[in-house]
Structure 1
Amino acid sequence: MTASAEGQPYAVAVPKGYRIGRWEVREPLASGAFATVYAARNTLPGTELPPTAALKFLPTGTRTPRQLHHLRELAEREVELLERLRAPRLIRMHETLTVEDPDHPELDGATVLVLERAEGSLDTLLDKTPAPASGPALLAEICQGLSQLHHAGWVHGDLKPGNVLLMKDGSVRLADFNMAAELEGTHAYSPAFTTPDYTPPELLWPEVSERGTRIRPTADIWAYGVLAHVVLTGTYPLPGATTEARTDAAMRYSRGAEELRLSPRLPAVWRQIIADCLSRTHQERATHDALTLLRRAEEAAGATRSARLPRLRPRRWRRPALVAAITAALLAAAGTVTYANLRDEGPSYGYHRCPFPSVCFFSEQNGNGEMCAWEESDPDWLSGSETCAWTADRPVKSIFYNGDESTGMGGVAYYRGRDYTPLGTDITRPNARMRTGCTGQHAQGNLAGTYAPRSHQLIQHCGDVAPGGS
């Protein structure tokens, strides 16, 4: 993600001084095709959260249904990884929020990731100082982050200088995980696009299924080789003045029609490391995993050898459909900790209390506090056989739709009024936005916590207009 060019509209334009939760928006930091990041100030100092942060706004409530599905999928990927993994070289997420502001339809429904504040990106550093003296040390830390990610069973899917952040102390954090994917055996599935200059040849023209592109950790290994060559020499390892020319060269190289000609400016100690990362095929690259590369990079950089990663706890059993489904979720934050040994003391999660197949609403964030659970729609939470009395005077702060995909009901829409009707300011929302909100199957996440819904209705997709006038 790079800074928005002067005069270029941001993916999400947020006015300075705008408030969401405890955070006040300040100046824009960076913008990409699908999100904009703003500096933010904590208006409630003295709490467990830092005085400043970076707010990543994803427009998950203001696009066409097809765009919304895609944007929510990207948000889901990033939130799930950041909620489940806490490691020193991965950017930390403090909380997630959803904008509830019908008076500003361009923001209403947006997903906001509250991230630790970085000083800049590797991309910005390279623009100012090609082949910086700190390059080898930075590469060792980047490889450490990649090793942490792969050890936890995830593939980044879009490793490049713009997605490497530099902290105030000069250390590295990997970021932008909206292309990240969790491994299912030897493979993972990621959206069908990435950054061509950092994409291995076998994925430049991939076979794309309804689940996306099948990728392996070796895709990140290739990207690391390209990134290392750029950091150390200021040039790409494959010839060409344009991205198209370089991708053509990559395809010729993969077929054996062209040799790999690394820059003569490349330090000798890094030459074989990068050549191994840029092996022609996945099979050749697979012999050089991230941990092996980390030890070689640390030695090449003269860096202190990092501690050995702890053994992972056994993975809890999860329904195959939960692993397989990439739902149109507004937010997702998995409650099962896969890589508990790398987590620091973060928030606790109570989503596991939600029985299958139900939709559950909670009085506190992260699935904590009091819970109400239903297996079907409910036109009035405060009457009938299943009531949710606490919502009469307290807001809902988190939700989990632990649904059954065989029913075809892929979303749950909720409303401030009874009988699936809008109430108050909700009436200003056109069409499907008249509902207060909507969440997809298997999605867990925090809400703004400023309203108490009165009814909810199971629907086919969150992008659809729900039956009953919503």
Structure 2
Amino acid sequence: MTGLPHSVPVPPGYRVGSWEVREPLASGAFGTVYAGRHTGGAGAGRPREVALKFLPTGTHTPRRLRHLREMAEREVELLRRLRSPRLIRMYDALTVDDPDRPELDGATVLVLERAEGSLDALLRRTPVPGSGPALLAQICEGLHQLHRAGWVHGDLKPANVLLMKDGSVRLGDFNMAAELEGTHAYAPAFATPDYTPPELLWPEYGERGRRTRPTADIWAFGVLTHLVLTDTHPLPGGSAEARCDAAVRYARGTEELRLSPGLPEPWREIVTACLAPTHERRAGLGSAALLRRVERAAGTVRSPRLPRLRPRAWRRPVLVITLAGALLGAAATVTYTSLRDDGPTYGYHRCPPDSVCFFSEEFGMGRMCSWQGDDPDWLSGDETCGWTRDHPVKSIFNNGVEAEGRGGVAYYRGRDFTPAGVDRTRTMRRTGCTSMRQQGNLAGSYAPLSHRWVPNC
């Protein structure tokens, strides 16, 4: 942490609201992240252990302070407005009121979901991780969620890809994020050179910053993909400065990409498309189309909302139920997905928005059943969730949308939301409960047969 410009030193034990600062987790030019603990225990929707991101205001010039404040405000605005499975979750935003500490007084503090580490740290330990393709699929999904909501990340790089305890991915650090106004957004005049497209390396700046577009994130994803899969950069040079010069020559047509021979062919096509030398040539590759290509290359499967069996050699069809509008008595919609011969289907990211999903394997793997409403009997009718007849639930993702009376999902071993067996001895009289936007493995042998949305867990 020491020696980094503009980092925010905060002593262990310092209190901000109901949170206590603990050890530093990461530091950069525009803030420092500390581990934090809730001094009153975990509250509704708030875990006890979090990350506290301090964005500074003290000891800077008025112009610098205004810029830092604007960066903090844009990050808070994005995190308050967007709730997506691939974006880090914000629980609160606080302002330090401590005149005795001018370096902290007025600082913005974001109370964030705590990650286990970053992709940057993973790549330092394992330069070409075996989980790289699956991680890239989730990173791309996060970009798609941002772009679909009308935002540009603006600083996609390994340090800003966060890895959660369950192995899933979140995008974080939205200091440079910008909301689109038509075809452009206006971002701060900063960038990480290795992940910046040629047209933005030396752009013109106006009062509102530099103009940027989603194609800047597409370029960054191409660089990141090449790095994750090969441990090398796609442009020549032994330093970031040299690689920037190569990017400019590449855009002018006097330099070529230096893609690694170890890059598999499907990924080679993806990286080449992402690294088209101009915005205009990248503009045809939107995040939705890119996500489809990345998922095919990674061998992952998206939401079971697709109304057909996936192509190639897929076997063992699995029934997946979506009870759209079940609270209103709507009929169940039955769609089908499949498991591959070479292992379970991957990922919590398959869970549709505004749904709760139960999985047959840990970490969102294997067979899945999803609902948007309550279900008093998983085994009624047309095999509503047939695999739970003789197989326990191993993981869950509550991907619901926050609404009055819907803070969590309770699940029961009996039908009609009743306890059964061991549940009768539990205080809560239910097998379990998962709060909104939470996901994870279930300990023990969970065998629920009904579930209902509840105000809180």
TM over 0.5, shorter chain:
yes
In the alignment, structure 1 residue 68 sits paired with structure 2 residue 65: yes
How big is the shift at 1:9?
Answer: 7.2
Over residues 154-188 of structure 1, what are the superposed CA-to-partner deviations in whole Å (9 max), with x where a residue is unaligned? 00001000100000011100000010000011110
Provide the residue aligned with 1:19 in structure 2. Answer: 15
8 Å Cα contact 2:226-2:233 kept in structure 1: yes
Tell me whether 299-308 or 53-62 shows the greater mean CA deviation.
Answer: 299-308
How many angstroms does 1:139 deviate by?
0.2
Secondary structure at the aligned position of 1:177 is classed as coil
Seen in structure 2, the aligned counterparts of structure 1 residues 149 and 308 have a Cα distance that, compared at 3 Å, is farther
From 243, 246, 255, give the equivalent of 1:246.
243
Q: Which runs of 5+ in 2 are unaligned?
A: 307-352, 356-398, 406-457
Give 1:64 shift. 1.9
CA-to-partner distance for each residue in 1:375-397, whole Å, 9 max, x for gaps?
xxxxxxxxxxxxxxxxxxxxxxx
Q: Deviation digits for residues 390-427 of structure 1, max 9, x if unmatched?
A: xxxxxxxxxxxxxxxxxxxxxxxxxxxxxxxxxxxxxx
Cα offset for 1:304? 1.5
Change in CA separation of 1:133 and 1:110 when aligned onto 2, cut-off 3 Å: same
Measured in 2, the distance between the counterparts of 1:191 and 1:151 equals 21
% identity of equivalent residues: 71
Q: Which runs of 5+ in 1 are unaligned?
A: 310-338, 349-470
Quick one: which of 275, 290, 293 aligns to 2:290? Answer: 293
SS of the residue 1:109 aligns to: coil
- The residue correspondences of 1:265-276 to structure 2 (distance < 5 A) are 265-276=262-273
In the alignment, is the contact (CA less than 8 A) between 1:62 and 1:107 conserved in 2? no
The aligned residue for residue 197 of structure 1 is 194
Q: Matches of 1:42 and 1:166 in 2, distance apart?
A: 22
Aligned 8 A contact 2:4 2:29 in 1: no
- The residue correspondences of 1:399-418 to structure 2 (distance < 5 A) are none
2: distance between equivalents of 1:308 and 1:166?
A: 26
1:227-266 paired onto structure 2 within 5 Å: 227-266=224-263
Aligned position for 1:219? 216
Superposed structure 1 runs of 4+ greater than 4 Å apart? 6-10, 339-343
- How far does residue 45 in structure 1 lie from its aligned partner after superposition? 1.5
Equivalence for 1:54: 51
Which residue of 2 is the match for residue 171 of structure 1? 168
The TM-score, its normalising length taken from structure 1, stands at: 0.64
Q: Does the aligned pair in 2 maintain the 1:62–1:108 contact within 8 Å?
A: no
Distance 1:204 1:112 in 2: 31
> CA, structure 1 residues 8+143, in 2 after alignment: closer, same or farther (shift >3 Å)?
closer
Counterpart CA distance in 2 for 1:146 and 1:295 is 13
Change beyond 3 A, Cα 1:196–1:340 = farther
**TM-score scaled by structure 2?**
0.66
Alpha-carbon distance between aligned partners in 2 of 1:207 and 1:308, rounded to the nearest angstrom: 44
Which residue of structure 1 lines up, in the alignment, with residue 343 of structure 2?
A: none
Task: Tell me how many residue pairs correspond in the alignment.
Answer: 315
Structure 1 residue 307, shift from structure 2 partner:
6.1
RMSD over aligned CA atoms reads 2.1
Counterpart residue number, 2:90: 93
Is 1:126 the counterpart of 2:183? The answer is: no
| Deviations 1:169-221, CA, capped at 9 Å, x for gaps | 11100000010000011110001120010000011111111111111100000
The aligned counterpart of 1:139 is: 136
Q: What SS does the aligned partner of 2:182 have?
A: coil
In structure 2, the partner of 1:40 is: 36
SS at match of 2:36: strand
1:31 aligns with 2:88: no
Measured after TM superposition, the shift of residue 60 of structure 1 is 2.1
CA distance in 2 between partners of 1:52 and 1:24 (Å) = 10
